Structure formats: C-alpha cells, structure tokens
Amino acid sequence: MFYEISHRIVYDYNMDLQLPLAKITRTSLIRCKHICNMVTTRDEIKESMQKLSQNIIDLDNVRFAGLIDKQGTLFAGGFKKGIIPHEDDTKRRQTYVKMALESCLRNDFNDSLGTFKYSTISREKVSIITMNVCDHLLLVFTEPNLDLHTLAGMIQSLIDENNAKYCVA
C-alpha cells in the first residue's frame, strides 16, 4: 500500500481513499499499517532510487543506470558524467518502452518458471543488465565484454541493502 500525508490529508493510493488526519481512528491506523510511523512519499522513493542509480553509476565500466516505470518513463538515474550516449533522446525513449514491455512479458512466467532475477544483453558497443526493483525496472548499460553475472550480483547486493526504501509499504 502507498500512503502519503499532504495538507493534513492521508492518501491511500491502493484504495483510492482520502482521509482527513482528524478522522483517522485507531482501527484505520492499524489498517494503514501505522501510517504515523511509516509514511513513504513518492519523493522519498525517488530520492532512494536516485541514490541507488548513482551508486551503480559509480561502479567501474558502468555507463548508465536508471529506473523506469511500467510505461518506460525514466524515474531516476542517468548517464555517468562525461559519457556520450550512443542513441539520441527519441531512440533512448523507445528503448525504455521496449524494455518495460519485455519486463512485463517476462513476469508472465513467474508462476511457472520462478521469479525473474535479472537478464543480460551483450551487444557490440554496450552490455545491458535489467533487474526488477519493486515496481520499477533497473537498466544498467556497461562497456562491452564485462562479466555481467558478477556485476549483476554486486548490483543485487546494493539493492538488497536498502530494498525497503524503494518499495511502497
């Protein structure tokens, strides 16, 4: 569930519900998972994901780290300073949309094949790692010819350290 306090109103985005703070009872606090202590805003999630992206960008041979939503919109992250992208903005946006769609299709097999961990793509100019981070897809573009499985393990460790900060309660 996702809750946000704004202008003394509690928004429950899963239930599409708005409650004035004065109307919250003990029962509704229990239902809201003790909202007074566990409020996670979109800005806090974005800030945490931006830090994750930067930690990944700081790794050797990483060109880009970013998190996209289910529509393929870049939510957090970007290119390492000084890196010139191989694609223009339009092509890059198409790539994000394509990868978001592929991620949704991959998740269709979770029941039969198990939960998706990560995928790797090796190309002539770049290699790509994709991983799910809560409701977002992490894209990592690296220099070619790296051991992507070792790098994916390092990235997964970074995610696991602060996973609660990236997910909505």
* Model confidence pLDDT, tens digit, residues 108-133: 898 999 988 999 999 999 999 999 99
> How confident is the model at residue 23, as a pLDDT?
46
152-162 mean pLDDT: 89
Strand partners, 9: 6, 20
Based on the fold, state whether residues 101 and 28 are members of the same structural domain. no
Do residues 8 and 55 both lie within one domain?
Answer: no
- Cα(165)–Cα(133) distance, integer angstroms: 10
The structural domain count of the chain equals 2
DSSP H or E segment with residue 10: strand 9-12
pLDDT at residue number 168:
59
Token pair recorded at residue 114: 């198990």
Are residues 62 and 31 located together in one domain of the fold?
no
Q: Residue 41 is which amino acid?
A: T
CATH for 111 = 3.30.450.30
What pLDDT band is residue 134 in, cutting at 50, 70 and 90? confident
Q: What is the mean pLDDT of residues 130-154?
A: 93
* pLDDT at 155 (0 to 100): 94
- Residue 3, pLDDT above cutoff 50: no
pLDDT above 70 (res 32): no
Note down the domain range covering 35. 1-39
Note whether 24 and 102 are same-domain residues.
Answer: no
Please tell me whether residue 4 adopts helix, strand or coil conformation.
Answer: strand
Give the helix/strand (H/E) hosting 18.
Answer: strand 17-20
Q: Which of 31-35, 139-143, 163-167 has the lowest mean pLDDT?
A: 31-35
135 with 159, same domain?
Answer: yes
Query: d(Cα 80, Cα 15) in Å, to the nearest integer?
Result: 39
Strand arrangement, sheet containing 3-6: 3-6, 9-12, 17-20
- In a shared domain, residues 112 and 31: no
Q: Alpha helices of the chain — where are they, by DSSP H?
A: 26-31, 42-57, 89-107, 110-113, 148-161, 163-166
DSSP string over 20-68: EGGG--HHHHHHTTSTTT----HHHHHHHHHHHHHHHHTSTTEEEEEEE
pTM strictly above 0.85: no
Mean of the per-residue pLDDT values for the chain?
Answer: 79
Quickly state the pLDDT bin for 83 (edges 50, 70, 90): very high
Q: Are residues 69 and 128 in the same domain?
A: yes
Bridge-based pairing of strands 9-12 and 3-6 is antiparallel
**Amino acid occupying residue 135:** D
